Amino acid sequence: MKTLLINNYDSYTYNLFQLIAEANGEEPVVIRNDATGGIPDLAEFDNEPYQLQGRVGDRLV
């Protein structure tokens, strides 16, 4: 599964990188949030866009 990860210049990005790589069996593609080259063609990624809306109890939704 090809995954795009946006780097916001914090250490949490690399924690996510390691978890995604372990879960998917391949490393995600990482771009910086201010990349001048823009974002890659999203059609080449397997993931559907998903945005967290908030919390319900102790769950993110």
pTM > 0.75: no
E strands present in 1-61: 4-7, 29-32, 55-56, 59-60
CB atoms under 10 Å from CB of 28, counted, come to 22
The helix (run of H) or strand (run of E) holding residue 54 is none
Q: pLDDT-based confidence at 27, cuts 50/70/90? A: very high
- What are the structure tokens assigned to 8, written together? 């916001």
Average pLDDT over residues 32-54: 74
pLDDT at 53 (0 to 100) = 66
Taking alpha carbons only, the member of 28, 24, 30, 25 closest to residue 9 is 30
DSSP conformation class of 6: E
Q: What is the pLDDT of residues 8-24, one digit of tens each?
A: 888 889 899 999 899 88
